[in-house]
Amino acid sequence: MFPSSIWERVAKANRYNGITDKIGLQTMKLFFTLMLLVLTTLPSCACVETPSKRLFVVFIGGINSDPTAAQMAGTAQRGVGNSGMFQLATDLRQDGASAEYFNWNGSAAGKIKEQQAPLSKGIAEQIRKRHVDRPKDKLALVGNSWGGHTAWEVSQLLAEEPAVPVDLIVFLDPSSAGRFDKAQPENLPSNVKNAVTIATRNALGWKKWADEPRAEFVDLGDPANGFLKKRGPAYDSLFDVKAHIAAEWDPAIHKSIQSRLLKLVMSKTDKDGSQPGDG
């Protein structure tokens, strides 16, 4: 197991110290060999979990935001594809967290057109199954556009007994416009601990909740929040669809969301520097 040169050095050191007990040398050799065997055969579960391993995030995309084949294969360039939420989910996995992506209708990546879509109920059921196995993990939902409304519906379903706590919901430029009889909900479900709405000023998007202490509102159209740039997307426009789409891919917004998510499992001493819009 160990190179013979190592044992030669040990023997030489023993002679130098006047120790010539060959039995002791053989015992030492056997001891270190056994230790190496134990260390190399330990199961992976014996390793200490990193904090991010205790974080589970569900990303929910907007209308027509099903990721491309290249995105799902991991060959797409950054910023290229059909789903900024799928890219962000991939980035979070690289940080060590567990992340799943769904389309706004509850379907898996690449299956947005399936006829029997699982809808919000399907997403909630999968979260409940995981919660049984890992009840101490932090849970977060991130929904973009129509996916924001779906995220709210999922949290509402998780509020039913036995309730599953939702540590954070991020609504990224959420909208209920065009979703049949849907409208912006009046409040957050009781099981939601904290929420943040990061929104453009698009007239079809959600507005700030009144009298909801658990909810934070980040106005992308306010230069003070650090996202509105002179030559960037018109986040301050009332009718700019391009800005709505740009928000899903904006690297600065992604960085801010990642920071918020990872802070859920970081100790106070680990937290450093805030990102734009972190509050």
Averaged pLDDT, 194-217: 96
**How far is 17 from 157, CA to CA, in rounded Å?**
73
What structural domains and CATH numbers belong to the chain?
4-45 (no CATH), 49-265 (3.40.50.1820)
What's phi and psi for 174, nearest 5 deg? -70, 150
Residue 120 confidence (pLDDT): 98
Q: What's the mean pLDDT when you consider all of the chain?
A: 86
Nearest to 259 by CA among 229, 231, 226, 224: 226
Confidence of residue 25 (pLDDT cuts 50, 70, 90): low
Averaged pLDDT, 24-47: 56
Higher pLDDT, 159 or 42: 159
Confidence of residue 13 (pLDDT cuts 50, 70, 90): very low
**How far is 75 from 98, CA to CA, in rounded Å?**
20
Whether the CB-CB separation of 134 and 160 falls below 8 Å is answered with: no
Q: Strand 215-219 and strand 195-199: pairing? A: parallel
pTM of the model: 0.80
**pLDDT over 90 percentage in the chain:** 73
Averaged pLDDT, 243-251: 98
